[in-house]
């Protein structure tokens, strides 16, 4: 199997596509820019969802569901938001098909079934949600509203990549309403920390928490917080954003509340989201030229057991022993698959599970049984070791924890060794071209300079890290005065 994967060095981009497709995560579809998430990829997403959903509920949020469609007049109400997404909107204009009189068995759009008002397929749900919140909020007693939605959204991107940038994607979007600015800011920051916690402690992807420059803000936000991860090719990837929306949407949809003193004011808002894009980040952060490497805490299958035998007699003996091992692993909360299918040889299976990134592989043969041992291979380092069958489950559980930690450490080491300081333009450009990663450099704080740097180098300001140190300096491009360094990178 592994021979079929393009190596990272040869073509990083093709390597990524190979992993996604041959690893069974996703497939191209007949719809331009839309993908099919295959069962293995979806199982990964389900694990991510379950963890995030628990984190959201633990911080007081409830789930709800709002319409897929946004009437155009609502969509355009918050002007900046509308302007930001207008170019990517799939638009429903008709509600019926009819038989094509010119082609038997074919259908055409029925011109008589034109909608009075076009419907935008949601690229994000602020508009439809704030229009709804208007009916839910009268007084401070109705606040805060802490709602999250798991949904599909559509953004008509011209250049798409599996998981990283697709026309339709799955995500969650939190939409909260608050009585005070401070509370809304605290909520936006809280959710940023939740995202960072998830990325680091579950996905094993280290992230930098920061704030976007005005250029990179979400359309309609006052502030966009973000977590930024680093991929193995030195490009950054925005892994999650949390927006303080100020009173922009409340004003656009006229959502006011009366406070304890009976004074009317506009409601304060946040929104925050992560998407199936995280799967792309996961793939690119950890995997190698033999396939996926998945962190045990969210891997669909944590342990696979492959029997090695000649004849039914040996197989039967192995089965008995494996049954106990499976039971013990499941009892310790480990997900395990016993692959005793007889249509492929063990070597093929080994390569297959390596490709799919199953964290631990256990092989048991007849000789092993005699010696009361099994061969345990870890996917991350590929080290193999002989484990006694006594207390195997406990040891495997510890091994999984070790793998989780090791994957994180490796990514962290790479990331940390790829945050480099640049003090001159030449240094900056050279670092971008030769080393990649985050470049910490001074910027004069203007949108023009940011645009110019992007135009010249394709690098953008990924974020201004939280609690960034103040430092006098000169802008890398203009030489104008700067008060702090920011992180630049080329990004997905």
Binding site for its own copies (CB under 8 A): 27, 29-31, 34-39, 41-43, 45-46, 62-72, 74-76, 79, 82-83, 86-99, 105-107, 109, 118-121, 128, 131-132, 135, 141, 147, 151-152, 154, 156, 168, 170, 343
Which sign does the torsion angle of CA 462, 464, 468, 469 carry? positive
Decide whether 76 or 423 has the Cβ nearer to its own copies.
76
Decide whether 140 or 408 has the Cβ nearer to its own copies.
140
Least distance to its own copies, CB of residue 402, Å? 29
Two structure tokens written together for 274: 């992560």
Decide whether 212 or 349 has the Cβ nearer to its own copies.
349
End-to-end, the C-alpha distance of the chain in Å comes to 28
- Give the CA-trace dihedral at 205, 208, 211, 216, to 10 degrees: -60
Decide whether 83 or 416 has the Cβ nearer to its own copies.
83
Least distance to its own copies, CB of residue 92, Å? 5
Least distance to its own copies, CB of residue 188, Å? 20
Least distance to its own copies, CB of residue 256, Å? 18
CB–CB of 163/279 below 8 Å? Answer: yes
> For residues 251 and 301, what is the distance between their CA atoms, to the nearest angstrom?
48
Which DSSP helix (H) or strand (E) runs through 462?
strand 460-465
CB–CB of 251/131 below 8 Å? Answer: no
Decide whether 150 or 387 has the Cβ nearer to its own copies.
150
Least distance to its own copies, CB of residue 186, Å? 21
Least distance to its own copies, CB of residue 74, Å? 6
> For residues 370 and 242, what is the distance between their CA atoms, to the nearest angstrom?
57
Least distance to its own copies, CB of residue 239, Å? 20
**Structure letter (DSSP) for residue 389:** S
> For residues 457 and 432, what is the distance between their CA atoms, to the nearest angstrom?
8
All residues at 6 or more sequence positions from 331 whose CB lies less than 8 Å from its CB, including other chains:
393
Decide whether 341 or 467 has the Cβ nearer to its own copies.
341
- Give the CA-trace dihedral at 303, 305, 306, 307, to 10 degrees: 170
Decide whether 101 or 135 has the Cβ nearer to its own copies.
135
Least distance to its own copies, CB of residue 361, Å? 21
Decide whether 4 or 416 has the Cβ nearer to its own copies.
4
All residues at 6 or more sequence positions from 318 whose CB lies less than 8 Å from its CB, including other chains:
307, 309, 364, 365, 366, 369
Instruction: Please count the other Cβ atoms lying within 10 Å of the Cβ belonging to residue 469.
Output: 7
Least distance to its own copies, CB of residue 118, Å? 6
> For residues 50 and 30, what is the distance between their CA atoms, to the nearest angstrom?
29
> For residues 113 and 388, what is the distance between their CA atoms, to the nearest angstrom?
71
> For residues 257 and 269, what is the distance between their CA atoms, to the nearest angstrom?
13
Decide whether 114 or 181 has the Cβ nearer to its own copies.
114
Least distance to its own copies, CB of residue 272, Å? 17
Decide whether 39 or 479 has the Cβ nearer to its own copies.
39
- Give the CA-trace dihedral at 251, 257, 260, 262, to 10 degrees: 90
Decide whether 70 or 236 has the Cβ nearer to its own copies.
70
Decide whether 252 or 439 has the Cβ nearer to its own copies.
252
| 377-414 burial code (b ≥16 CB/10 A, e <16) | bbbbeeeeeebebeebbeebbebbeebbeebbebbeeb
Least distance to its own copies, CB of residue 149, Å? 9
Least distance to its own copies, CB of residue 45, Å? 8
Two structure tokens written together for 158: 């011209």
Mark residue 315 as left, alpha or beta (left: phi above 0; alpha: psi -120 to 50; beta: remaining). Answer: alpha
Which DSSP helix (H) or strand (E) runs through 149?
strand 145-154
CB–CB of 289/7 below 8 Å? Answer: yes
> For residues 94 and 113, what is the distance between their CA atoms, to the nearest angstrom?
5
């Amino acid at each position: 199997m592994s021979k079929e994967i393009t190596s990272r060095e040869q073509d990083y981009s093709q390597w990524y596509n190979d992993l996604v497709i041959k690893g069974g995560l996703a497939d191209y579809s007949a719809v331009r820019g839309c993908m099919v998430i295959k069962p293995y990829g979806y199982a990964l997403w389900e694990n991510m969802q379950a963890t995030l959903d628990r984190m959201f509920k633990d911080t007081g949020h409830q789930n709800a569901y709002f319409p897929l469609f946004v009437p155009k007049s609502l969509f355009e109400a918050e002007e900046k938001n509308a302007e930001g997404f207008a170019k990517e909107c799939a638009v429903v204009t008709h509600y019926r098909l009819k038989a094509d009189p010119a082609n038997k068995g074919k259908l055409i759009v029925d011109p008589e079934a034109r909608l009075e008002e076009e419907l935008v397929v949601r690229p994000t749900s602020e508009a439809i949600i704030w229009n709804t919140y208007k009916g839910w909020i009268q007084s401070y007693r109705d606040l805060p509203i802490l709602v999250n939605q798991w949904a599909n959204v559509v953004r008509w991107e011209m250049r798409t990549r599996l998981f990283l940038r697709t026309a339709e994607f799955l995500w969650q979007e939190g939409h909260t309403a608050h009585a005070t600015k401070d509370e809304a800011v605290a909520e936006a920051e809280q959710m940023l920390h939740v995202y960072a916690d998830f990325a680091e402690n579950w996905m094993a992807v280290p992230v930098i928490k920061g704030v976007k420059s005005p250029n990179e803000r979400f359309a309609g936000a006052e502030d966009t917080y973000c977590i930024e991860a680093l991929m193995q090719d030195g490009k950054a990837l925005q892994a999650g954003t949390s927006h303080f929306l100020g009173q922009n949407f409340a004003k656009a949809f006229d959502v006011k509340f009366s406070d304890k003193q009976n004074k009317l004011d506009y409601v304060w808002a946040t929104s925050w989201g992560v998407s199936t894009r995280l799967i792309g980040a996961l793939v690119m952060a950890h995997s190698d030229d033999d396939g996926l490497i998945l962190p045990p805490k969210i891997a669909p299958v944590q342990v696979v057991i492959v029997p090695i035998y000649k004849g039914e007699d040996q197989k039967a003996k192995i089965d008995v022993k494996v049954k106990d091992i499976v039971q013990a692993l499941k009892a310790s909360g480990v997900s395990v698959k016993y692959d005793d299918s007889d249509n492929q040889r063990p070597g093929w299976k080994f390569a297959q599970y390596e490709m799919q990134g199953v964290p631990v592989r256990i092989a048991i043969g007849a000789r092993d049984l005699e010696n009361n041992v099994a061969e345990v291979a870890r996917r991350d380092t590929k080290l193999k070791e002989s484990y006694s069958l006594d207390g195997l489950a406990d040891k495997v559980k510890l091994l999984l924890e070790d793998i989780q930690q090791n994957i994180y450490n490796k990514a962290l080491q790479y990331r940390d060794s790829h945050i480099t300081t640049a003090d001159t333009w030449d240094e900056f450009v050279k670092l971008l071209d030769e080393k990649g990663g985050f470049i910490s450099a001074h910027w004069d704080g203007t949108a023009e300079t940011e645009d110019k740097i992007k135009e010249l180098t394709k690098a953008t300001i990924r974020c201004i890290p939280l609690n960034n140190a103040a430092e006098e300096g000169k802008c890398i491009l203009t030489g104008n005065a700067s008060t702090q360094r920011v992180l630049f990178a080329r990004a997905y």
